[in-house]
Amino acid sequence: MSAKLTVVRSGALTTVQDSGRRGHAHLGVPRSGALDAPAMHLANRLLGNDPGAAVLETTLTGCALRPDRAVTVVVGGAPCPVTVDGRPVAWGAPVRVPAGAVLDAGTATAGVRSYVAVAGGIAVEPVLGSRATDLLSGLGPAPLRDGDVLPLGAPARWTALPAAAPWPAPPTQLVLPLRLGPRADWFTAAALRTLTSATYRVSPHSNRIGLRTEGPPLERRLTDELPSEGMVLGAVQVPWDGRPVVFLHDHPTTGGYPVIGVVADAALASVAQAAVATPVRFTLG
C-alpha cells in the first residue's frame, strides 16, 4: 500500500498541480498546471522525482499535512517558515517527516505561491492525462479542504539534485517582454506608448486565471464587438476598463476582448510569485 497524506490545514487555496494538460484547448480545456513551473521542477528534482510529478501549490498562507508513513518532503517556491511537529526545519531542501508528524508550511514571507513536493509525488487520479486542479473548468481534484486524504506514489528512481540547489527570489518588480498582436491595431498609438512606458501594479483581484493590473487605461481605436477567438497562455487581454490582464494557466480558451500582445512563457513563472501592488512594466521583445 502507498503512503497517504491527511490535510490538517488546507490554507487559503491549496491545489494539486503538475505540468498541466496540454493539447485540449480545442475542447475548451485550459492548460492548468503549476504557475511557477521552475519551482515545481526544482522541488521534485531535489527529491529524485520526475520534474513534472504532482505537487501541492499553496497560496500565501501555506498548508499543514500529516503522513501515515515516514516521507521526505521539500517545501519551495515562495519562502515560508516550515516546521515538523512545531520544530523548525529547512525550507527549500529535503526534510524527513516521521509517520504521524505534522508538516506545516507557513505563511509566505515573500512571493505568493509555495510548493510542497513529496517523494513519489501526489497520486490522485489523472484527468485527461494530468492530476492538475483547474479552477476554471473544474477538472481535476477540488481545492484541498481540511480532512482530505491524498495518496502518494512510489518513490521515483531519478537522481536527486544536491540539497544546496539555488532558489530564485520572488520579484520586487515584473518586467514582462511582450510581442504585440494579434489585435494591437484595435488600440490608439497613444495606448501602445502607454502600455510600454507606464508602470502598472498587480491587482488584488489576480488569480490563477489571470494577472489583473491597476494603472492607466488603454484607449481603443476600434469600439466594435469582437467575436470570441482563441486565447493562449500569456495573452494580454484588455477589457472595457482598459487595464491589461495577463492570462495564466487556468485562462479561458476563447475570449471576446482584444488581445494587445502576448507575454513569453518564460516570463510567467515570475508572475506567479508577484504579490499585490508589485510594479509591472511591459517591454517590447
Do 184 and 226 lie in one domain? The reply is yes
State the pLDDT at residue 1.
62
| Cα gap 113→103, rounded to integer Å | 17
Residue 101 pLDDT > 80, yes or no? Answer: yes
Do 145 and 19 lie in one domain? The reply is yes
Q: What mean pLDDT, rounded, does the chain reach?
A: 95
Give the pLDDT mean for 19-41: 92
Query: Which three cell numbers, joined as nine digits, stand for 265?
Result: 512563457
In a domain, 105, yes or no: yes
State the pLDDT at residue 172.
96
Of residues 52, 109, 49, the one with CA closest to residue 74: 49
Do 139 and 102 lie in one domain? The reply is yes
Q: What is the pTM of this model?
A: 0.95
Beta sheet of 63-67, edge-to-edge order: 87-89, 82-84, 103-105, 63-67, 4-9, 149-151
Give the pLDDT mean for 57-62: 98
Give the pLDDT mean for 238-244: 97
CATH classification of the domain holding 262:
2.40.100.10
Instruction: Provide the domain limits for residue 256.
Output: 174-284
Give the pLDDT mean for 117-135: 96
Do 111 and 181 lie in one domain? The reply is no
State the pLDDT at residue 25.
85
| Cα gap 105→116, rounded to integer Å | 8
When divided into structural domains, the chain yields a total of 2
Do 186 and 134 lie in one domain? The reply is no
168 SS3 class? coil
In a domain, 27, yes or no: yes
Structural contact between residues 47 and 162, judged by C-beta atoms closer than 8 angstroms? no
In a domain, 68, yes or no: yes
In a domain, 158, yes or no: no
Residue 106 pLDDT > 90, yes or no? Answer: yes
Which band of pLDDT confidence, cut at 50, 70 and 90, is reported for residue 27? confident
In a domain, 167, yes or no: no
Do 49 and 144 lie in one domain? The reply is yes
In a domain, 55, yes or no: yes
Q: Read off the pLDDT of residues 135-179 as tens digits, 9 standing for 90 and up.
A: 998 999 999 999 999 999 988 777 777 766 789 999 999 999 999
3-state secondary structure 209-262: CEEEEECCCCCECCCCCCCCEECCCCEEECCCCCCCEEECCCCCCEECCCEEEE
Do 88 and 120 lie in one domain? The reply is yes
Give the pLDDT mean for 64-83: 97
Of residues 178, 258, 253, 247, the one with CA closest to residue 218: 258
Which band of pLDDT confidence, cut at 50, 70 and 90, is reported for residue 7? very high
Do 21 and 64 lie in one domain? The reply is yes
In a domain, 164, yes or no: no
Do 32 and 127 lie in one domain? The reply is yes
Do 111 and 28 lie in one domain? The reply is yes
Q: Read off the pLDDT of residues 270-282 as tens digits, 9 standing for 90 and up.
A: 999 999 999 999 9
Do 114 and 184 lie in one domain? The reply is no
In a domain, 146, yes or no: yes
Residue 268 pLDDT > 90, yes or no? Answer: yes
State the pLDDT at residue 108.
98
Percent of the chain with pLDDT over 70: 98
